[in-house]
Amino acid sequence: LNEIIVDFDELLAEPRFSSIEKIKTVGASYMAASGLNPTHRGKEDEHDHICALVDFAIAMKQCLEELNKHSFNNFQLRVGISSGALVGGVIGARKPVYDIWGNTVNEASRMDSTGAMGRIQIPKETAMMLTARGYQLEYRGLVPVKGKGEMETYYVVGRSVSTQGQFTRTPSQHASLAAVVYGMVQARRRQNTRVVA
């Protein structure tokens, strides 16, 4: 599991995914969000961040397929993505961590839990954004979703060749919120270590 998470983290470090923040890993779940950093909202289309997140999910699937080839395993990925407003913040006094909450986060979690292995499931609203951006989708149908009732969902099949790479970003010159929080935590640990020693 650690090797897979490390591979995903290395993938996330690529400049094309600079708008995506890893939020956390819990067990075998990897949570990431895009569009959180206002420095990435310059000339880009308002839906670039969702495209980056979907491209990251597709790249994660490809990364896992490569890992399976070389390790003779059959690991599979199930992805749920949603788009919309959310709330984020740093919580905790002893171990401060950045986390996100809200309907969009819950909906993405439900897209994951009701999805199929090897597939990226999205709700109708996200599907409409992606169709306009050249993604190929497969209609799944109505899916019972806890707390939502039945929702129309789609699977992301891929992206048409003519639009791949069209919406790449230049890396931000600003530190990400996650990097700032990480730096603060490390400084605090060093400070606490000096006091104890």
The model carries a pTM of 0.76
* pLDDT tens, residue by residue, 146-181: 989 999 999 999 988 655 544 443 344 444 555 555
* pLDDT tens, residue by residue, 21-66: 999 988 889 999 998 876 655 555 678 889 999 999 999 999 988 8
Distances (CA, A) of 138 to 76, 157, 163: 19, 7, 18
Residue 29 corresponds to which tokens in the numbers above? 């779940």
End-to-end CA gap in the chain:
34
Residue 195 corresponds to which tokens in the numbers above? 């006091």
DSSP 8-class letter at 136: E
Catalytically active residues are 110, 146
Nearest to 61 by CA among 81, 44, 76: 76
Residue 45 φ then ψ, to 5° = -65, 150
Per the CB < 8 A criterion, the answer to whether 57 and 35 are in contact is: no
Residue 35 corresponds to which tokens in the numbers above? 């569009």
Structural domains of the chain, ranges and CATH numbers in brackets: 2-196 (3.30.70.1230)
